[in-house]
Structure 1
């Protein structure tokens, strides 16, 4: 075990914060160790971002810019979860480990694709009601002899690497009604690190550390202060409380840590990003004009104790859902003629930040995307200059914000190549109409963001729709973090293209939303190779080598936030079906995929609208708040979830009521909304959807 003096010191630190310290197991000395992860990518890929630095760069160069045209499909494995696939596979000791939607885990022979074992945590499908963005999972962690997966319903689970048998399981979240987990765990110094999602519900953000052998919690750092009447866990929470007003804790506060977690052995710090303040609209709980720390920030804590070290807030008083949960990358860069250990970050808000890794000092920042909510950053502090019209709750007017909640860059992993000095970012051009809901009241189900989503839903106007679609695009951006300038870009039809991998072979790999897996020259952006994936790709690839052969692997399967939320724009890159599978490539291989099943024809044939205008307006408000998060803006769905304009239940008030109020489809994830929606409300929603379907039918052919 660790030395007694160290344990005592740890107990004193956490005891002062009002939190219990658990005795820790020794770090692993066999299997996957800290030293192996710290060494970064070689023949194996041991951690979500490749290594502790999260650079997603591989020194392998058997596959390179000269021969990548010979790359072919070595093997593939179809998956049994037809939802969005966001995980990066890991490879150790000849085995690929991958998580799929619904937090399932599978292990394959890395050379042949033979399935070794499969694990299903049996997540209840009703959990979908508290997940903003599909039943996704971004990956597993490896350490010692174990595989770790964080389940959608808030559990952290350890499995045996050889057999897939469960070693331990613990519930991480404070409750399983407002929290979910979609992110990949990380391991540092024998601690399994994980946060949660939930900043659109009633969640209070945190990052927690668990003993790798026992599953006992060692420390927990909250990202926003709780109710002052209960006392503060530490000085950092007491200080943060000064930046909030009103009864912020009644909605939890937000600030969830749903993705980025990076450990830097050089500083012994864990860096993580935090989500928006909750609710988005500050007027709902009178939280005032303060910064609402530590939301929309990069936060650093001591890896051993979880004690606060520093923070840098990228979006003060966030009311636009500009989460700072995008990947955090650590590197050594030349800054003003000197080598500095830095943190690099490209969050949703559209600015690229370079910070000192030890102190959090702002070193530089520039807009890498289209930004209209701020007109720049203070060159000394990095604080944004927020334009008055962006504070929509004060103006009472609609604000068309760019980049919007989807972000100029969101969770899709970026990669950094020390060879070229460039960061390769899956970037987006997106926007959002924001309008505060003056009559908003909290409820115990659905989003609690305080916006009038119904009033700003996309109208059935061909001109407006055309303008919206034209504005929603994506691109692969090569960004120089030293000069803070674009080096090159590749344009895509729509947003939500996959994460990137860069290699010493002068290559950048990326999948697209339109269904291609591509390779580009890392120095110029010239496309060198592509493979039709038959489905949109949102996950990031990885690479490994066995017996002298290099492989490239990627998980494919369209879905995620863009598909379920964005209405007419969800299929901007084309109507790609979800075909979920793991694909592995190597030079000279010639494997083939099965033929694509024909797409079902989607014909609008709704019943006539016979409701009242008042019903339709009421239904629009209710749909915008409770339904649009899964079934799409303006009742226009993407690929995964049912498009209610086509539903046979539109002809039957009883059928709609049985689903929405009585919970007839709870087993499929469509829970009852009876605490918020009554029978007459369900009928109003039905009438609104019928009206919308008839409007869109009338637009067909125009």
Structure 2
């Protein structure tokens, strides 16, 4: 936590502590409890009507042979190769225009929705915010049972990124979910009762959390965690699927050099770090999302994340590659032993994680069949790598890139551009493309073996980074600042609007052999949904601006779309029940971008409304209307604060509140817009800061802010309410 003196000394452009908010969203919103679900419903004692005799009866043999039962979607990427391609073709580019709504279901909480549903033998297993698990009749949408792991809502400010969850895994009658607060929970698929619940966190003084979907192979449940911005040490762990017993753990970065390392791979990695400043931060390298598995090679592939600190100079004296940050690492799943690695961004300083979706495929390259792993990580290069050896085959820019000129195919290393080294710029802002949300973030891409194309949810994104002298430490949220101001978006709404207008998204069809674009479809902003490709020559994707869409896979022509009532970030799935093909989209705007980015999120023109939408040919269901909360007009009280107090309040807000309520108090619409506080809430503002609304999910800052700081913070919010009131009046008069 910055002290008052530290805050006053900060540059007015410095977003300082709030850079952690680029990955962290606190639980500051009210939950939505729709009529058709009860968040704390007791679990049924007997198997609900509609379940098969042996639900979730999946093992490795079924997943390996998934193409023999294409009506199911048994793992998060459908198959171990994570291609997210379906052989189903009853819905094609010839009849997709006949899709209609089959069923919809309103989820408990209107926060970010990022899950890929699992569908096995007519039952869908999917997750919503706060790691709540739902089991549906996949044909009708009837809720069969629900599992709520009771994540502590007040802990949401200490994990990354919003209360999101990317889905479940199933195995031999159990359903597995990682929770926001760092647990791994196994539920009995037959009745929704809890089988076991274990804590995966090695150090509860650190802010670990889980948003990613587990993967399962050889009776082992594999799960990583997030939290690199908070000062944690990354690792991935295997647990016995039946009992929850820990089988092995692989750390992705070395531990304290004064102590023995856990294995030889970490001994080698230690030589690539300099100094000891990174030790107290944990180092980072969290495995917070993507994995893939090759059963023939018996290799598990994991993607590792960014460092603590982001700043290469602060972290490692600007020396060394800092393994195994921003890397693809191949592991023996039987033992957890290191096999090989490829580092996409040595010495990463920009949050260029390699946790993005990885796809395994066999490609004909220069006349030879190659077993490859493909990735489009944040750094803007598309990589094709030999998945047996880790040797780079090719790498080309799929998005605008300024931090490196190219990747040297002989060495496998990027050729860095010195202009992006902000730690050498004496505190001057440095424009870098892409920025911290990357050329592609967590939203899954897909590969269609018929077209030979990869379909990427692409970002065109840039920010300015700036070196800072005092990285600091916050006792409230247990996170380190990142040693860099990574959101230099200016002081005014005009400045912020400029940046948000610079950020655009698209659906990119990429040829991984030729390493070139085949076609591209633009979107209004970044953070559009993951993709699904099918044998019906289709690509399905949801958009940030609230649509679900089907394109022809070969040339990108839009063939169908339907309203979604909220932004869509998750990847859709398709499946078959009783001979009928369905397509399901998980809908709900939220996550890091939607909450923190303010103006850019509002550009999408959507509000949170979390639900499941399922379509089929000739579907006749009517889309039930969304019931968004009312937006109150600004009601600012009179303020006699000085300009210095308001400026200090701005620093406090952007350092501690923008994670939830948006930079410069422009809410992205996920949590309450503090410019629209009622007169009553303005009157009780000190009490709210001290924890009066803790039961509603607003963390207490008692003992963190001094009374004078609370006054300054309130003065800034009053000023922002006046700004909004003035803007709204101008817009009304202009009509």
Q: TM-score scaled to structure 1, two decimals?
A: 0.92
| 252, 273, 279: which one aligns with 2:303 | 273
**Structure 2 vs 1, CA of residues 602 and 472 (structure 1 numbering), >3 Å: closer, same or farther?**
farther
CA contact 1:261–1:327 (8 Å) conserved in 2: yes
Please give the residue correspondences for 1:609-648 in structure 2 after superposition, counting only pairs within 5 Å: 609-648=639-678
- Deviation of 1:496 (Å): 0.8
**Structure 2 vs 1, CA of residues 677 and 389 (structure 1 numbering), >3 Å: closer, same or farther?**
farther
Instruction: State how many pairs are aligned.
Output: 671
Is 2:57 aligned against 1:31?
Answer: yes
- Deviation of 1:441 (Å): 1.8
Counterpart for residue 258 of structure 2: 229
What is the alpha-carbon distance in structure 2 between the residues aligned to residue 63 and residue 29 of structure 1? 26
Larger mean CA deviation between 618-627 and 501-510 belongs to: 618-627
- Deviation of 1:448 (Å): 1.8
Gaps of 5+ in 2: 1-53
What is the alpha-carbon distance in structure 2 between the residues aligned to residue 287 and residue 264 of structure 1? 38
CA contact 1:452–1:625 (8 Å) conserved in 2: no
| 183, 193, 206: which one aligns with 2:235 | 206
What is the alpha-carbon distance in structure 1 between the residues aligned to residue 367 and residue 666 of structure 2? 52
What is the alpha-carbon distance in structure 2 between the residues aligned to residue 616 and residue 55 of structure 1? 51
Is 2:569 aligned against 1:543?
Answer: no
What is the alpha-carbon distance in structure 2 between the residues aligned to residue 255 and residue 601 of structure 1? 40
Is 2:524 aligned against 1:498?
Answer: no
What is the alpha-carbon distance in structure 2 between the residues aligned to residue 240 and residue 32 of structure 1? 37
SS of residue paired to 2:467: coil
SS of residue paired to 2:230: coil
CA contact 1:501–1:542 (8 Å) conserved in 2: yes
Counterpart for residue 66 of structure 2: 40
What is the alpha-carbon distance in structure 2 between the residues aligned to residue 385 and residue 445 of structure 1? 40
Q: Deviations over 1:363-388 (max 9, x none)?
A: 10011111122222223233222222
- Deviation of 1:628 (Å): 1.7
What is the alpha-carbon distance in structure 2 between the residues aligned to residue 371 and residue 45 of structure 1? 35
Counterpart for residue 432 of structure 1: 463
SS of residue paired to 2:705: coil
CA contact 1:413–1:425 (8 Å) conserved in 2: yes
What is the alpha-carbon distance in structure 1 between the residues aligned to residue 676 and residue 466 of structure 2? 29
Is 2:131 aligned against 1:103?
Answer: yes
What is the alpha-carbon distance in structure 2 between the residues aligned to residue 683 and residue 386 of structure 1? 46
CA contact 2:445–2:456 (8 Å) conserved in 1: yes
Counterpart for residue 345 of structure 1: 375
**Structure 2 vs 1, CA of residues 455 and 342 (structure 1 numbering), >3 Å: closer, same or farther?**
closer
CA contact 1:346–1:353 (8 Å) conserved in 2: yes
Q: Deviations over 1:58-108 (max 9, x none)?
A: 000000000111111111111112111110111112111111111111111
Q: Deviations over 1:548-582 (max 9, x none)?
A: 111111111111111111121112221x1222111
| 405, 408, 417: which one aligns with 1:378 | 408
What is the alpha-carbon distance in structure 1 between the residues aligned to residue 359 and residue 550 of structure 2? 22
**Structure 2 vs 1, CA of residues 609 and 289 (structure 1 numbering), >3 Å: closer, same or farther?**
farther
What is the alpha-carbon distance in structure 2 between the residues aligned to residue 619 and residue 246 of structure 1? 36
- Deviation of 1:149 (Å): 0.6
Q: Deviations over 1:293-342 (max 9, x none)?
A: 11111111111111011111111221211111111110001222211100
What is the alpha-carbon distance in structure 2 between the residues aligned to residue 142 and residue 126 of structure 1? 29
Please give the residue correspondences for 1:4-403 in structure 2 after superposition, counting only pairs within 5 Å: 31-41=57-67, 42-176=70-204, 177-247=206-276, 248-395=278-425, 396-403=427-434
Larger mean CA deviation between 687-696 and 451-460 belongs to: 451-460
Counterpart for residue 22 of structure 1: none
Is 2:491 aligned against 1:459?
Answer: yes
SS of residue paired to 1:389: helix
**Structure 2 vs 1, CA of residues 310 and 183 (structure 1 numbering), >3 Å: closer, same or farther?**
same
**Structure 2 vs 1, CA of residues 620 and 696 (structure 1 numbering), >3 Å: closer, same or farther?**
same
Larger mean CA deviation between 692-701 and 543-552 belongs to: 692-701
Compare relative contact order (CA 8 Å, sep 6+) and give the higher one, 1 or 2.
2
CA contact 1:498–1:511 (8 Å) conserved in 2: yes
CA contact 1:454–1:620 (8 Å) conserved in 2: no
Counterpart for residue 46 of structure 2: none
Q: TM-score scaled to structure 2, two decimals?
A: 0.88
Q: Deviations over 1:255-291 (max 9, x none)?
A: 1111001111121111111111101123444543222
**Structure 2 vs 1, CA of residues 286 and 623 (structure 1 numbering), >3 Å: closer, same or farther?**
farther
CA contact 1:202–1:253 (8 Å) conserved in 2: yes
SS of residue paired to 1:514: coil
SS of residue paired to 2:581: strand
